[in-house]
Amino acid sequence: MLEARLDQAEILKKVVDAIKDLVQDCNFDCNDSGIALQAMDNSHVALVSMNLQADSFAPYRCDRNIALGVNLTSLTKVLRAAQNTDILTLRALDAPDSLNLVFESQDKDRISEYDLKLMDIDQEHLGIPETEYAATIKMPSVEFRRICTDLMALSESVTIEASKDGIKFTCSGDIGNGSVTLRQHTNVENEKENIEIELSEPVALTFSLKYLVNFCKAAGLSNTVTICLSNEVPLLVSYALTSKAGSNLRFYLAPKIGD
Amino acid sequence: TGKQQSILGFFSKA
């Protein structure tokens, strides 16, 4: 059986909120190392991958591999009943037809309990190759969201160029064109404001802004976002879910290539 | 602005 207790319901609420417009139904794959989710959007352009390691929960118990087939719209309805600061416990049997969710207020004066019906989802699992990215950018997540939404007002695509001069986001549309350039920046007093750029070779790739703006719904999960690029491979946009390494929400986006 | 690629062209089915 599965029993997983999260100290803050906020994490799961925000994860589901961030991905529910990209993915409708997906399996939460539970095993002794934690809970993972992988799903593509309907048009197979983007891939969402979530990992919540067992050490993100206390306690965490999962004796066998369990796939929880969940409709995210339904899960959203149930999670709406949880306050951000509630303690959230997920429970399921080994071959479950429902997922039990318990929300407890921090001072334990309210306990809510819900059962969510599960579904059988036959989902393809994709192997994501280990990639040494040519460019890695770590920046404030709200700043990345602002760049994407600002550029989407002009165009449906953005070209991201990484060079020794910095990271340049360029778009052009019917009303005109625009660009934003980021340079490495260290704020000694407020590390969250830092922009860190690691570059091993120049990169230039074009992506759909509609998807990038969608990924930015995860900005509430983490102050910083990590963006990884290599020529002719999908872009990786990654948000840390907890302070523990390995628990993250990742989005991969296939590029636009050629004319 | 280029042709949208599919993620399936990059990641193989496990």
Condensed to tens digits (0 to 9), the pLDDT of residues A60-74 reads 999 999 999 999 999
Cβ pair A125:B10 closer than 8 A: no
Residues of chain A above pLDDT 90, percent: 91
Q: Mutate which of A128, A212, A236 to test chain B, going by most B C-beta atoms within 10 A?
A: A128
| A48, β-bridge pairs | A39, A251
**pLDDT of A33 higher than 90:** yes
pLDDT band at A194 (very low <50, low <70, confident <90, very high): very high
> Across residues A214-218, what is the average pLDDT?
98
Mutual orientation of helices A72-79 and A10-19 as an angle, nearest 10°? 150
Which pLDDT belongs to residue A205? 96
Measured between alpha carbons, how far is A225 from A204 in angstroms, rounded to an integer? 19
> Across residues A212-226, what is the average pLDDT?
97
pLDDT in tens, A37-46: 999 999 999 9
Q: Pairing between strand A224-229 and A111-117?
A: unpaired
Which pLDDT belongs to residue A259? 62
Cβ pair B1:A206 closer than 8 A: yes
Average pLDDT, chain A: 96
pLDDT in tens, A134-190: 999 999 999 999 999 999 999 999 999 999 999 999 999 999 999 999 999 888 888
**pLDDT of A243 higher than 90:** no
Q: Please state, in angstroms and as integers, the Cα–Cα distance from residue A143 to each residue in A35, A146, A175, A191, A193, following that order.
A: 29, 5, 23, 14, 9
DSSP A44-57: SSEEEEEEEEGGGS
pLDDT in tens, A2-20: 999 999 999 999 999 999 9
Residue B4 CB coordination number (10 Å) = 18
Which pLDDT belongs to residue B12? 86
Residues 6+ apart with CB under 8 A from A89: A3, A4, A5, A6, A101, A102, A104
Question: Is residue A33 classed as helix, strand or coil in its secondary structure?
Answer: coil
Q: What is the ipTM of this complex?
A: 0.95
Please identify which residue in the block is written with the tokens 């071959």.
A95
Residue A181 φ then ψ, to 5°: -115, 130
Q: Mutate which of A123, A161, A256 to test chain B, going by most B C-beta atoms within 10 A?
A: A256
Dihedral angle sign, alpha carbons of residues A257, A155, A132, A44: negative
For chains A and B, count residue pairs whose Cβ atoms are closer than 8 Å: 63
Nearest by CB to residue B12, choosing from A44, A126, A252, is A126
